[in-house]
Amino acid sequence: MKYRTIGTDPQTRREVSVLALGAMLFGSVTDEKTSFAVLDRYVEAGGNFIDTSDNYAFWVDGGRGGQSEELLGRWRRSRGIGDEIVIATKLGARPLAPGTSYVDNAEGLSAKVIRESAERSRERLGLAKLDLLYAHIEDHEVPLQETVEGFAALVAEGTVGLLGVSNHAAWRVERARALAAAAGLPGYEVLQYAHSHLRPRSDVPESLFPDGSLGHAGPDLLSYLRAEPGLTLVAYSPLLKGAYTRPDRLPADFDHPGTPARLAALREVARETGATVNQVVLAWQIGGELPIVPLAGVSSVAQLEENLAAVDLELTAGQRARLDAAH
């Protein structure tokens, strides 16, 4: 396994594996036995960066979520897992009532919610401290100042380490970070957005969350990441939910003239390296100039093994240039 540092403060920064494991469906769609087997193999391979959220997976049973965090808590206790494993979770998008969703009934990002939701996550995970806590989606009703101060208070108390933000417009990320800096408070250091080798169209609703906030890491966010070397991008859905091997799964917003050329470049490099297309995508992210950690969820140990092999796949400068230039 290879590792990179997330965060800049010596008190809170962590060394994490360059491949993160998504636990979204653990404890719901993916049963406990399979989930435990995947988690065990990931840790055995040197992986130490696991991602979840307090609302995973509310849509499976019409509830409010929490199944993934609860399963991770059971796994930690049964395996004697301590703080050597970095578990990241998110808050802000948990439905307030069963049968509703984050679209119209999310918990939000008030100081009260941040404190209470973080405490519930710690209880489910069995952790005294959350290594990395994200603001999951935007809250347009609560002032950014309140959100910034709410997260910072948990860091000051020692119940949260690093702060992150997911699916927010780049300008709101910058404004929140500026507010934190002006007040001498810790700010967001890890960004989590959808990102893959294929690029979505930016002019269709499918590339946005229902409230209009950003889902994909587009040019604006990537240029922001380039300008702020202390930030790290955790890229979710790097394999587009299987679309690289199942074209019928390709989301509608990826159906545009640039997609075939980028797919052709991926397949060409896969043939040259003897790797799978999925492995080339992950290796392209892991070894690129920007600090990107792909976050891939799996439903079997076999899928995890394919992803793990990407860590040691070294692409040449020429291959990277072709992958970058295809459009």
For 299-308, how does the pLDDT look when each residue is reduced to its tens digit (9 = 90+)?
A: 999 999 999 9
Distance CA 3, CA 47 (A): 9
In a domain, 327, yes or no: no
Quick one: pLDDT at residue 208?
53
Stretch 72-82: mean pLDDT: 97
Does residue 226 belong to any structural domain of this protein?
yes
Q: Give the CATH number for residue 213.
A: 3.20.20.100
pLDDT given for residue 206 in this prediction: 44
Mean pLDDT for the stretch of residues 68-95? 97
For the chain, the first-to-last Cα distance in angstroms comes to 32
Q: Give the residue numbers spanning the domain of 22.
A: 3-255+276-316
49-51 and 20-22: which strand pairing? parallel
pLDDT reported for residue 104: 86
Tell which residue, 158, 82, 87, 160, has the closest CA to residue 117: 160
- Interval 213-222 mean pLDDT: 83
Residue 99 lies in a domain: yes
pTM: 0.96
Residue 326 is assigned to a structural domain of this protein: no
Give domain status of residue 141, yes or no: yes
> Dihedral, CA atoms, 49, 210, 214, 201, nearest 10 degrees?
110
Length of the chain: 327
* 268 domain residue, yes or no: no
Phi, psi for 299 (deg, rounded to 5): -120, 10
The verdict on residue 271 lying in a domain is: no
For 221, how many CA atoms within 13 A lie in the half-sphere containing its CB?
27
Please list the helix, strand and coil fractions of the chain in percent, rounded to the nearest 5, in that order.
Answer: 45, 15, 40
Q: How many domains does the chain have?
A: 1
φ, ψ (nearest 5 deg) of residue 258 = -80, -20
For the segment 120-143, the average pLDDT, to the nearest whole number, is: 97
Q: pLDDT for 108-126, tens place per residue? A: 999 999 999 999 999 999 9
Task: Please tell me the predicted confidence (pLDDT) of residue 251.
Answer: 87
Q: Is residue 263 part of a domain?
A: no
Higher pLDDT, 22 or 202: 22
